[in-house]
Amino acid sequence: MGMRETILGDGFYRYDPEGGRPRGAADRPHLMVRDGLLQPALEERTASGICLPGESLDDDEMGGPVQFPGGIAMPVQIERVLGFGRSFSFWPLLFGLACCAIEMMALGGSRFDMSRFGMEAMRASPRQADGMIVAGWCSIKMAPRVVRLYEQIPDPKWVLAMGSCAISGNVWDTYNIVQGIDSLIPVDVYVPGCPPRPEALWQGLEMLRERVKQSRHAYDGLRRIPARDVLAAQTAAAEACAPAAGEVKA
């Protein structure tokens, strides 16, 4: 609640001349710049369980040793083993929205070669993917499709927002651009730049791999996603108007 709700309320292509709208990282209290990348601020991280590279995850948070029937304790943390395996075959969704996708292709090409990390298998179907790289600006007409693609990716899933457009809308503060993809879906790693160099995306993917290894997600335990919250608010608003019609009928 609190901070994040405010951000989401303002960020979702809604213009509020009095209250203003977040325009960049500095205006977004849940983000900060670290290692040249935008990072969620500390309170936000502890709330959502986001971990920075180099930060270790203590064992209590991982749930401790797995107990098997018969009282045998497994000294290995299963999640961590699974995460380790997943991190070496992370298959992103083949999904480019705008010019940033060109740099994503460059990372897939032979010069930067993301297949070194087991990421070259970009799946054309969200049902086969482990996550998505939102590369480029998202138009308002595309927004429901992005949400649909995200929801079709099976759990566990991770999202990387690539480029200023996906992070904040960039200079396209206009009639047709979603002002930051995190107003729709939970984002794990933000890679700024216009477009980011393939190296920057590579660093972002390394951070993502770190999170995959640790089985950490931007979404919370209830798998709530911001677009569904917006939808619920819109439905509630429509229902609040509905009784007026009912009274007329009665």
Partner 1 sequence: MSALMDAITAAFGARILETGDFRGDLTISVAPEAWLEVLTFCRDNEATKFDMLDCLLGDHLPERAAAPFALVAQLVSHTYGHRLRVKTALTEGQAVPSVTSLWPSANFDEREAWEMYGIGFTGHPNLIRLLTTEDFEGFPMRKDFPLEGTVGGRVRTDLRGKI
The entry of ligand SF4, partner 1, none that residue 235 binds, CB within 5 to 8 Å by partner kind:
partner 1
Ordered strands of the 189-191 beta sheet: 31-34, 37-40, 189-191, 158-162, 131-135, 92-93
> Is 140 within 8 Å of 178 (Cβ atoms)?
yes
How far apart are alpha carbons 157 and 216 in whole angstroms?
Answer: 10
Report the relative pairing of strands 131-135 and 158-162 from DSSP bridges: parallel
How far apart are alpha carbons 132 and 85 in whole angstroms?
Answer: 18
The entry of ligand SF4, partner 1, none that residue 14 binds, CB within 5 to 8 Å by partner kind:
partner 1
Q: Is 231 in the site for partner 1 (CB under 8 A)?
A: yes
Q: What does the per-residue mask of binding to ligand SF4 show for 34-73, with x meaning CB under 6 A?
A: ----------------------------------------
Q: Is 67 in the site for partner 1 (CB under 8 A)?
A: no
- Looking at the Cβ atoms of 194 and 237, the one nearer to ligand SF4 is 194
Give min distance, CB of 194 to partner 1, in A. 18
How far apart are alpha carbons 165 and 245 in whole angstroms?
Answer: 41
Q: What share of the chain is helix, strand, coil (3-state, %, to 5)?
A: 45, 10, 45
Query: What would the two tokens of residue 51 be?
Result: 């971990």
165-224: contacts with partner 1 (CB under 8 A): 173-176, 179
- Residue 118: which residues within 8 A CB-CB, separation 6 or more? 88, 89, 90
Indicate which single residue of 3, 112, 151, 197 sits in contact with partner 1 (rule: CB under 8 A): 151
Q: Is 93 in the site for partner 1 (CB under 8 A)?
A: no
From the list 69-77, 118-126, 204-212, 226-234, the region that binds partner 1 by CB under 8 A is: 226-234
68-127: contacts with ligand SF4 (CB under 6 A): 98-100
Indicate which single residue of 92, 131, 180, 195 sits in contact with ligand SF4 (rule: CB under 6 A): 195
Rg for the chain, CA atoms, rounded: 20
Q: Which residues bind partner 1 (CB under 8 A)?
A: 13-15, 17, 21, 139-141, 143-144, 147-148, 151, 173-176, 179, 227-228, 230-231, 234-235, 238
